[in-house]
Amino acid sequence: MSFTAPHSEEISPGLGSEAAELAALRRRLAEEQAARERAEREVTALRARAAALERARLDAERGRLLLQTVLNTMQDGVLLVDADGVCRYANKAAHQMHDLAADYLARQPTFRDLVGFQRARGEFGPPDQADSFVNDGLERFRAATGYSHTRRRADGRWIEFSYFRVDEGGTLAVYRDVTALKDQEAQLALERDAAHTARAEAEAANLAKSTFLATMSHEIRTPMNGVIGMMEVLESERLTPGLRRIVATMRESAVALLRIVSDVLDFSKIEAGRLDLEETPFSLADLVVGTAGTLRPRAAAKGLALHAEVEGAGTPLLGDPTRVQQILFNLLGNAVKFTQSGWVKVAATTTPRGDGTVAVELIVEDTGPGIAADVLPRLFSPFTQGDSSTTRRFGGTGLGLSIVRRLGELMGGTVAAENRAGGGTRFRARMSLPQAEAGPLVRPPVARQPPPDGGGAGRVLVVDDHPINREVLLRQLAVVGVSADAAADGAEALAMHMQGSYAVVLADLHMPTLDGFEMVRRLRAREARDGLARTAVVAVTANALAGEADRCAAADMDGFLAKPITIPRLRTTLARWLTLSDPVEAPDMAESQDRAVDPAALTAWLGDDGDAIAALLGRFVASARDAEHRLAMAVETAPETVMAVAHRLAGAALAVGARPLAAVAAELERAGRAGDLAQGRALLPGLRREIDRVAAETPPA
């Protein structure tokens, strides 16, 4: 029997629908499950995004707080202004600098409001000044491209304001307190001003020192000119052997004093850096031979042989021959002075280096006692002598060797000393000097210049406002054998020059009315205008400081003579323009006597010319009475006038031999310098008595 399964619909129609529903339900459940899973995934993603956003927010907040902490920790103020000009942010320092309340920015003030707030507090001064300042500042703020300025706040602090444009169109303002920097600048300015003041005071002191040196040079050299000049004149007279020895001793002492003065002046100029070196072509060989020849008589008087070796010194040099000779004179002079027996030798060599300079070496040796070992290291220090007995035996300031070393250093070299193995000393001076081109060389000053083109006799015009200086020069010219006239100032000299012909004018530089410089200027102008031959003008001055000779050359003068003027120097200078005759001799002089006027002082000048002596004394008495009258008025109110008039009277009195009168005048000068007018009045009767004594001893003219 067969069995056939029934059709499902036929079997259970209800079960089919239920299966479909079940399948649909399953589908829906699957979809819902997928939806839930999607939702869960989305929630998870949202939660992740939320967590990330929260982390970012927290990071941003931490960053904001960190930035806020950093900005608030800054000492500089920071203010951010947006493109609309509203103040959006200010750090703690900005609040403090502007004295703002903590909630000030919550009101959203503009930058103009902030400036107005400061203006109302008086930050920008009075209203009339504040408006322009505020308007200008706002314009610069709006156009800020790195603009900065610094100003002082009302509280005294200095603030530097800097404005920078930011990308969003706003402006970043930075405020920096620079008060400490300004205080430092002010302190530095004070220190700089103090340094400038100290420098100015030092320069003033240096100028005062230079002025003092110039004054001292003039005040010492002027009377020394009379002393040495008259002693030279006196030595040319026919004196008894005893008088000749006395005059020689006096002259040596005067020259020694002048040498000390010159050393002090040279040392002071070197210390002040005011010693200028000339650049003149000269022959070292000629200079060494001339210097040795000058000192040879002194060496021979002590029984010493003086040798000069110049075989290797033929290269012509460019430098200052006077200063090189000063080194030689000092070293050779010391060798002769300290050597008692044996010899003194000087050797000179020149070695071209090939670069236009020449190595110069001077060696001075002697057979003297040598130098103590403990003295050698400090031998060239200022004011140093071998021992205390050296000064007592030989004199001197102890400046000579110091000056020698400084001069050597100024010429690019060194000076050293050592003891010779066989006894005595050896000084070695090395210098570096330019090599001179081929041409005429300057010979040493001891050599006499022949007159150009054979020369010719001529008159000399002496121009000096001091009558004693005129008398000295006229007398010295008489010894040289030159006829001369005298003028008291530049104006009188020009008038005399128009009336007569003078080959040479010897002119003092510092004279009232018309000084030597202006006189020469007018003289040269007249010569150029009228086509006259050039007259030689020689400056005569007691100012021996550096630069005076250059000033004279720049003023178109032909020569320069520093006082005291010796007869050999005068003769050498005049020989450039004149043919000189032998000196004129005068009769013997009588011994001096202790009276109101020492007759020897005048006979030294004028011999036994009684008329000339009477005329000179008469003029002196007249000028002395005039000085007495001026002093009588000045002792009431004018100490400077007392000092000046008495100084002039004392010098003139010494020149004519009125020593007691000169002593009283010197006391008056000291009283004037001290401002002691009462003492000055007390000295006047004594001054009058001495003038009367001089008048009583004055022969009738």
Residue 395 pLDDT exceeds 50: no
Give residue 426's pLDDT: 92
Candidates 283, 278, 578; CA nearest to 440 is 283
Give residue 588's pLDDT: 38
Q: Is 101 helix (H, G, I), strand (E, B) or coil?
A: coil
DSSP character at residue 443:
P
Q: Is 303 helix (H, G, I), strand (E, B) or coil?
A: coil
pLDDT digits 0-9 by tens, 234-260: 777 777 777 777 777 777 677 767 767
Please state, in angstroms and rounded to a whole number, the distance separating the CA atoms of residues 525 and 496. Answer: 16
Please state, rounded to an integer, the average pLDDT across all residues of the chain: 78
User: What average pLDDT score do residues 388-417 get?
Assistant: 72
The confidence band for 350, taking pLDDT boundaries of 50, 70 and 90, is very high
Please state, in angstroms and rounded to a whole number, the distance separating the CA atoms of residues 45 and 118. Answer: 54
Please state, in angstroms and rounded to a whole number, the distance separating the CA atoms of residues 166 and 173. Answer: 10
Give residue 8's pLDDT: 46
Which tokens sit at 628? Answer: 């007495």
Please state, in angstroms and rounded to a whole number, the distance separating the CA atoms of residues 603 and 605. Answer: 5
Please state, in angstroms and rounded to a whole number, the distance separating the CA atoms of residues 628 and 665. Answer: 10
User: What average pLDDT score do residues 124-145 get?
Assistant: 66
| Percentage of the residues of the chain whose pLDDT score is greater than 70 | 79
Is residue 516 within 8 A of residue 499, CB to CB? The reply is no
DSSP-assigned beta bridge partners for residue 80: 89, 172
Report the length, in residues, of the chain. Answer: 701
pLDDT digits 0-9 by tens, 258-300: 767 766 666 666 666 666 777 878 888 888 887 887 788 778 8
| Percentage of the residues of the chain whose pLDDT score is greater than 90 | 8
Give residue 455's pLDDT: 38
Residue 508 pLDDT exceeds 80: yes
Residue 407 pLDDT exceeds 60: yes
Give residue 451's pLDDT: 36
Is residue 613 within 8 A of residue 589, CB to CB? The reply is no
Is residue 506 within 8 A of residue 540, CB to CB? The reply is yes
Strands 504-508 and 536-541: parallel
DSSP-assigned beta bridge partners for residue 84: none
Residue 505 pLDDT exceeds 90: yes
Please state, in angstroms and rounded to a whole number, the distance separating the CA atoms of residues 411 and 433. Answer: 7
